[in-house]
Structure 1
Amino acid sequence: MIDWTEIPNGDSWELFARDFLAELGFVIDIGPGRGADAGRDLVVSEQLRGRLRTKKFTWLVSCKNFAVSDKSVGPDQENNITDRLKQHDADGFIGFYSTVPSSGLVERLQRLEKSGDIAAFEIFDRKKIEGHFIDTGMSKLALRYFPTSYARMRPIQKFFGKYEEILCDVCGTDALAKSVRTPYYSNLVLASPINNHRRYESLHVVCKGDCDQKLQALLYKKGFITQWEDIGDLVNPILFLKNMLTYMNILHDREKEFSDEAHQRMKNIYVSLAQRTLREVNKEDEKRLVDLGEVEGL
């Protein structure tokens, strides 16, 4: 999904690692820089929280960009790990790689952790990094470093500073996040009383299969019939627009009735779906929205 060769060199890869880890909430203690770095690309930290106190945990981050050759990162490319950690007063080791670690490197890190020479290690390989792009709404970061791949990904955005999820009413799975990797995973279900097909009393989101069957059985027992639409279709930009216009026409022509609860749920779902279907929101867009005082009306 992501073309890692869009980042052309090691310097840019270190800058990307810095911004990516900052997005995840790490504090950047020492950022990338040119010149001799004694085996250090970055030093980052986080606060480990216990019941009574917190403790700072420091990570040495080693950045390797082998995207062009597509070679794995082996033990020969990660020399003297324990010495490097001691020199920079770090507790753990993070490998931040555009490819994957070799089995030999992983085994060495496991031995060092087991012997207590390092407190912990973590590997951010290309698949793990890609997963964060898809699932946590790092759309601005993707646009900055991978503009060509961004156009293909259409990652989830955060319009108002936070991610608006769409949870399955039965199991709690985030249907919107699932739609990126598995487009046709869940349904939007509209429930009407059996004796009044014109009125939609409630809206539901469910995973297909067991969750859908459980919801249908529950609604039928309460005296409702259902219609459904595929969430995978609703994140298609054209079909998203068509669905919104259809909904507006239904309200205007009074073909159907929606309860207050159903109408509010529909609006919330449209806002969530827009995080995947609309273009990136820039600073000018955000400022204009605030200036017009439109946020509260959504």
Structure 2
Amino acid sequence: MPVLDFKEIPEAHKATGQQDTFELFSRDFLAFLGYKIISDPDRGADGGVDIIAEEKRTGVGGETTIRWLVSCKHKAHSGHSVNSSDDANISDRVMANNCQGFIGFYSTLASAGLSRILDGLKGRIEFQVFDKEKIERELVHSSKGLEIAERYFPTSLSEWKTENPKPARIFADESSLKCKVCEKELLSQDDKGVITLWQRIRTDYEKEPEHFEHIFWTCRGNCDQVLQQYIRKQTNNGLIDGWEDIADVMMPTVFIKWVMSIMNELRSGALYSDEAFDELKTFLLNIYPFACRHLTEKEKERVQSLMMIPSYFGGMNYEG
């Protein structure tokens, strides 16, 4: 699904005072890629030249400079492809402006006819086309590219950031949770693993408070099972464990539920060993930057499903 809606950039042929925005965007995009802008966009007759840019190439034989004629066509509002009549006489325009290459910068796609004409120019001039997909791909994969995208596509990028959350920059050091068994960094993996809370077995639930001895986080599966077997052997099966997906706790709604549950438990007299309490604080501090944000649409659905699961089964439904 496309990230950037090019219709956020005003149409190029309506005198709104912002009709040059797409050309300015193309200038900033090319500069971001490393091209040197020789001729900036301007209004009036341009002779088929929107921008002239230079590219320096360094090889075994030294440094070579390629001069590019850039043609900007913003047809996102109509949805039409750029055809050969929109970008005519490409070779003549390149030669007339003392250039060696042609860049088509399009908010839609080049038509099949225009693509055939460009293919026919191989060996005579260099050419490349930046269509909407190539432009988007370059922008959303670097912090500098995202800055440009945010300037020209503020609505699109705001929505994209919500659905692709990054941890908030709150602390000097980056968050880190390493598996207690294999020491892999859990927060950099797709599957964030599980957190397990080990507490003493109670025989009298009315008189004995909850008493947590250990809190661990591990990879899901083998590492979790290895740790379970170790703890049960070390404690002669004197502890029981409860667990939660770390990815769930990273969701803002579940994180708040976790914090409130801990506060309620402490108020009710729950006890933590010094080790368990330190581990709990470490976990919450490292998860908080991930939870300090809006819910994604997928997470909203996940929270809805958790609300349907009774709390005693690990869900968020506390009724009944």
Asked if these proteins are the same fold (TM beyond 0.5), I'd say yes
Q: Does 1:106 align with 2:115?
A: yes
What amino acid is aligned across from residue 132 of structure 1 in structure 2?
E
Q: Does 1:186 align with 2:190?
A: yes
The 1:197/1:69 distance shift into structure 2, 3 A limit, reads farther
Query: Is this contact kept in 2: 1:200–1:257, CA < 8 A?
Result: no
Query: SS at the partner of 1:200?
Result: strand
What amino acid is aligned across from residue 129 of structure 1 in structure 2?
I
Give the equivalent residue in structure 2 for 1:136: 142
Give the equivalent residue in structure 2 for 1:210: none
Give the equivalent residue in structure 1 for 2:184: none
The 1:98/1:82 distance shift into structure 2, 3 A limit, reads same
TM-score normalised according to structure 1 size: 0.59
Deviations 1:106-131 (A, max 9, x none): 12212212xx111242x221222233
Query: SS at the partner of 1:90?
Result: coil
Deviations 1:228-275 (A, max 9, x none): 4348x84x6x359649968x98xx98674788xxx69x85x876897x
Deviations 1:51-93 (A, max 9, x none): 5644333322110011221111011111111122222332322
Q: Does 1:125 align with 2:131?
A: yes
Mapped to 1, the partners of 2:58 and 2:194 lie a distance apart of 43
Percent of paired sites with the same residue: 31
What amino acid is aligned across from residue 119 of structure 1 in structure 2?
E
More displaced, 67-76 or 46-55?
A: 46-55
Query: Is this contact kept in 1: 2:10–2:21, CA < 8 A?
Result: yes
Give the equivalent residue in structure 1 for 2:7: 5
Query: Is this contact kept in 1: 2:167–2:290, CA < 8 A?
Result: no
Mapped to 2, the partners of 1:243 and 1:50 lie a distance apart of 59
By how many angstroms is 1:3 displaced? 3.0
**Gapped regions of structure 2 (runs ≥ 5):** 13-19, 180-186, 199-211, 230-242, 296-320
Query: Is this contact kept in 1: 2:168–2:290, CA < 8 A?
Result: no
Q: Does 1:44 align with 2:58?
A: no
What amino acid is aligned across from residue 4 of structure 1 in structure 2?
F
Mapped to 2, the partners of 1:40 and 1:158 lie a distance apart of 43
1:147-226 equivalence runs, <5 A: 147-154=154-161, 186-190=190-194, 198-200=214-216, 216-217=221-222, 219=223
More displaced, 220-229 or 31-40?
A: 220-229
Mapped to 2, the partners of 1:240 and 1:201 lie a distance apart of 17
By how many angstroms is 1:32 displaced? 0.6
Query: SS at the partner of 1:186?
Result: coil
By how many angstroms is 1:7 displaced? 1.5
**Gapped regions of structure 1 (runs ≥ 5):** 170-174, 177-184, 205-214, 279-298
Mapped to 2, the partners of 1:54 and 1:258 lie a distance apart of 58
List structure 1 runs of 4+ shifted beyond 6 angstroms: 155-160, 224-227, 269-274
CA RMSD of aligned residues (A): 4.7
Give the equivalent residue in structure 2 for 1:294: none
1:46-125 equivalence runs, <5 A: 46-50=55-59, 53-113=62-122, 116-121=123-128, 123-125=129-131
By how many angstroms is 1:8 displaced? 1.5
Query: SS at the partner of 2:85?
Result: helix
TM-score normalised according to structure 2 size: 0.56
The 1:257/1:111 distance shift into structure 2, 3 A limit, reads farther
Query: SS at the partner of 2:26?
Result: helix
- Flag the structure with higher helix content: 1
Mapped to 1, the partners of 2:147 and 2:33 lie a distance apart of 14
The 1:67/1:50 distance shift into structure 2, 3 A limit, reads same
Count of residue correspondences: 238
